[in-house]
Chain A
């Protein structure tokens, strides 16, 4: 099973700070790159599914970029709020099908 690496493992920021996380994935045989948000005591929910090199997606204060040639994606959160506290997961479909998740970046935002 391929490796999907995320960094940092955890992050603590103050309300209003902007932050970003990294997801690294195999650059060969690219199909898609997924980002999910996982709040405590809830289930993961999809943020973005990105399929094209150079793709940029945005949802409110959260955005993501994709570089398939070098195998990385960044997730940005602008002006973090306490409700952004969650674990952010990226996932890569192995052989185009089995979605393999990274271990996630846990974000904690203090007010």
Chain B
């Protein structure tokens, strides 16, 4: 158990809909990362937050947004969903930024039909 909690574990929805994925980081970790893993793709970096502020942004679509709340949990909002958004979305946390090891949640499997 990494200490990182992601909900929901599985989500099936239709095109055009909006979903919210939630992540609770490991106790004490200030940094939260979101990654997307699509079929045959590696871990694609989406966005990073550190202590409530956006720290770095990757190839995140404009239809996607995220935030980190004062209690350090984070949410990833995916809107106007398309078939291609079907993927496994991982949240990871670390105490530090890039020099601290990441602890991954179990992922949220999103299926868009």
Contact = CB atoms under 8 A, between A and B. Distances in A.
A31 B43 CA distance: 20
Contacts of A94: 56, 98
B102 A31 contact: no
Contacts of A23: none
Nearest to A49: B101
A95 B48 CA distance: 12
A45 B106 CA distance: 11
Count class of interface residues, chain A: 20 to 34
Interface stretch (A11-19, A58-66, A72-80, A100-108): A100-108
Contact of B102 (A34, A51, A95, A103): A34
Contact of A99 (B2, B33, B57, B59): B33
B97 A1 contact: no
B44 to A, nearest CB: 8
A27 to B, nearest CB: 16
B48 A103 contact: no
A91 B33 CA distance: 13
A109 interface: no
Interface residues of B, number: 27
B28 interface: no
A49 B106 contact: no
Nearest to A47: B101
Contacts of A36: 102
Considering residues A34, A49, A98, A103, which has the most beta carbons from chain B within 10 angstroms of its beta carbon? A98
B42 interface: yes
A104 B43 CA distance: 9
Contacts of B55: 97-98
B105 A89 contact: no
A44 B90 CA distance: 10
B18 to A, nearest CB: 25
Contacts of A98: 33, 45, 48, 55-58, 98
B37 to A, nearest CB: 10
Given A94-B56, A98-B58, 8 more contacts: A1-B45, A1-B59, A31-B99, A43-B105, A43-B106, A96-B99, A100-B45, A100-B58
